[in-house]
Amino acid sequence: MKFVIHIGMGKTGTSAIQSVLAQHSAQLEQQGVKYFGRWLGDEAGKRNGRLGQKDFFKASDAEKALHAKEIFAQAKALHRSDKLKTFVLSNEAYWSRANDLKPFLDELKKHAEVEIVGYVRDPAGWLPSAYCQWGVVHKVYKDNLLDYPTMAETLMERYERVKDWLDHFRDDLTIRHYDAVESVVADFLANLGVELTVRRDRSYMRRSDAELLLRALVNDRQEGKTRGTEFDDMMQWKDALAGPSLPDVAGMTLDYSQTQNIIDAHVEDLKLYEQEFGIDLLARKAKEQAPIDMNDLRLGMVDVLTKLVISQGARIRELETKMAANSPMSARRAERLAARARRAAAADED
């Protein structure tokens, strides 16, 4: 029996690997491989999810060793009943947690072979990707938005974490070069010794610069850590992305370059007007259209949208004022008005 512990690092196709393992569980099991999931094999228990995982990392060495015995017992039972031989755990958080995982893995190694697999990516490509994911889309820190150079310095510390794995598990550790393989999913599956037909390789496709900038502006206004789903809910982003892009719409609605070709296809119909009414509809040729200047178009739309936002802001403010005027008075304001009325009445009596 063998356990394969996939440790990340983050932004090296970890989510894509996990997605494929989860979606093809039946095919994997036919080839003797069981995917135990992201949460130390405890998908339905107290270690399921990030909070449960944090508790596990903080648990005593004895508790971690006990869980290793429990997960081995599960694997042993599956080995006997279903002839499964290889069991996979995968979580990018493991990359920085070698010290916390040591008691668990030390105990597991007493009962089964353990192979620890990680992927590393060239920092020239990894740093921008990691910054966009954890600094912009998911703001994983409590302060205001950090600039790229500042956070990149912090992110570089991730490369140091491999030292802990080397200290504790040098003989069990394999680090593979993400940039040297055509498909990280195919590479991982080949390492497992299984064959699957996989259509999709990346779980998180790179977002456009425009989307990243908008997310940065929104998340910078949020206090504390911010998940990407909060932006999606606030901006209804998925609905916004459902339609065609601005260049696509511009091409659909503003490109008239095919006008003459369309006219030429209907020459006989148009000649009838000259024959019957003396009107030559073919004398004027369609003008050759210059290419659509998307920069000018975007600037024009920014101008229109800016005026629209200002107008909408004024309307919202007017609506808020009307709502406040029609809303029930607060107790404090009512008391102030009552006190003023009492003073006025007393003055009248005097």
pLDDT at 11: 93
pLDDT at 269: 87
Residue, of 10 and 208, whose pLDDT is higher: 10
264 and 185 within one domain: no
Instruction: Render pLDDT for 51-95 as a digit per residue (tens, 0 to 9).
Output: 578 888 999 999 999 999 999 999 999 998 888 999 999 999 999
Give the 3-state secondary structure of residue 260. Answer: helix
pLDDT at 314: 81
pLDDT at 315 over 90: no
Q: Which domain holds residue 183?
A: 2-123+155-205
- Are the beta carbons of 176 and 259 closer than 8 angstroms? no
302 and 166 within one domain: no
Max CA separation in the chain (angstroms)? 101
303 and 268 within one domain: no
Contacts of 2 (CB under 8 A, 6+ apart): 85, 86, 87, 112, 113, 114, 115
The reply to whether 162 falls in a domain is yes
**Which of the four pLDDT bands, split at 50, 70 and 90, describes residue 347?**
low
- Are the beta carbons of 105 and 173 closer than 8 angstroms? no
The reply to whether 82 falls in a domain is yes
Instruction: Render pLDDT for 215-258 as a digit per residue (tens, 0 to 9).
Output: 887 788 777 888 877 877 777 666 666 667 788 888 877 787 88
The reply to whether 213 falls in a domain is no
175 and 113 within one domain: yes
% the chain with pLDDT above 90: 38
The reply to whether 261 falls in a domain is yes
% the chain with pLDDT above 70: 86
pLDDT at 151 over 60: yes
Instruction: Render pLDDT for 23-62 as a digit per residue (tens, 0 to 9).
Output: 999 999 999 999 998 887 665 556 666 657 888 899 999 9
The reply to whether 80 falls in a domain is yes
Q: Alpha-carbon Rg of the chain, whole angstroms? A: 32
Instruction: Render pLDDT for 274-292 as a digit per residue (tens, 0 to 9).
Output: 887 788 888 888 888 888 8
What CATH number is attached to the domain comprising 192? 3.40.50
pLDDT at 231: 78
316 and 273 within one domain: no
Listed in sequence order, the DSSP H helices in 203-293 are 209-219, 228-235, 237-242, 246-253, 259-264, 267-277
**Which of the four pLDDT bands, split at 50, 70 and 90, describes residue 141?**
confident
The reply to whether 130 falls in a domain is no
pLDDT at 114: 97
Instruction: Render pLDDT for 188-216 as a digit per residue (tens, 0 to 9).
Output: 999 999 998 776 555 556 677 777 887 88
115 and 36 within one domain: yes
Number of domains present in the structure of the chain: 3
Strands 33-35 and 2-6: unpaired
**Starting at the edge strand that comes first in sequence, how are the strands of the sheet with 173-177 ordered?**
33-35, 86-90, 2-6, 113-120, 173-177
DSSP 295: H
175 and 277 within one domain: no
- Rounded to 5°, angle at Cα 175 from 36 and 122: 115
What is the rounded average pLDDT of the residues 330-339? 66
88 and 27 within one domain: yes
The reply to whether 227 falls in a domain is no
pLDDT at 43: 58
Tell me whether residue 326 is exposed, middle or buried, using C-beta atoms within 10 angstroms of its C-beta: 0 to 12, 13 to 18, 19 or more. Answer: exposed
Query: What number of other Cβ atoms are within 10 A of residue 225's Cβ?
Result: 13
The reply to whether 50 falls in a domain is yes
73 and 42 within one domain: yes
